[in-house]
Amino acid sequence: MTTSNAEWIDIILGKADAATKWQKIFDALRDAALVSSKLGALDRVTVAPDQLLANSAWNLWDGFLHHAPLAINELKKFWVAPKASGRAILILDGLSLRELPIIVNAAKERGIIPVRVEARGSQLPTETDRFAEALGISSRSKLRNNQAPATFHSWQRSKRRCTFSAHHADQTPTCRRGLLGIHRPAQTRTQPGHYGRPRLRS
């Protein structure tokens, strides 16, 4: 189910607070991505919210990093939350919402059933170095395959190395705790919108 233009107007220009608006925006984008099966379908879905945010609701961008649900914050909450089993973080650099249904379906085909599927915001500008810095890592090169330095903000408990090869997609990594980084040339970038603000990119 995709969000209509009228629904986008209600979400973005409604009376809700900024945090609620951003959460609804990301929920709608996630839902649209999961049902997008044709090339370009997701791009068309983002036209209405993109135009609204760039023109009528540009003030939402001012509080993006403070009010939007961010991937960095989600990773940190995941890492420190008490769990009976182990955990690992797999970072795929250079992907977008277009690849979300591919990743989810590939996991299911391999017997991995996602507990939650969420869309979260990036750092600004949308560069991998900024993402790494937000994790307390000096640069994107430090995210390479399980190299988690002591400066990693969420690396609060004991660490255990995991092994994973990007060339063996059928492997399911097993570990108690680990950071798995698949390093690719950066493909994400900031697309300037009106008033110099970034625009939505699917």
pTM, entire model: 0.74
Contact assessment for residue 42 and residue 178, using Cβ atoms and an 8 Å cutoff: no
Could you tell me the residue ranges of all domains in the chain? 5-67, 71-182
pLDDT in tens, the chain (202 residues): 678 899 999 999 999 999 999 999 999 999 999 998 787 889 999 999 999 998 989 889 888 999 999 998 998 888 778 876 777 788 888 788 999 999 999 999 999 988 899 999 998 888 888 888 888 777 777 666 555 555 554 445 434 433 333 444 444 444 444 444 444 433 333 333 333 444 555 4
| Bond preceding residue 198 cis, omega within 30 of 0 | no
Sign, CA dihedral 176-182-188-8, equals: negative
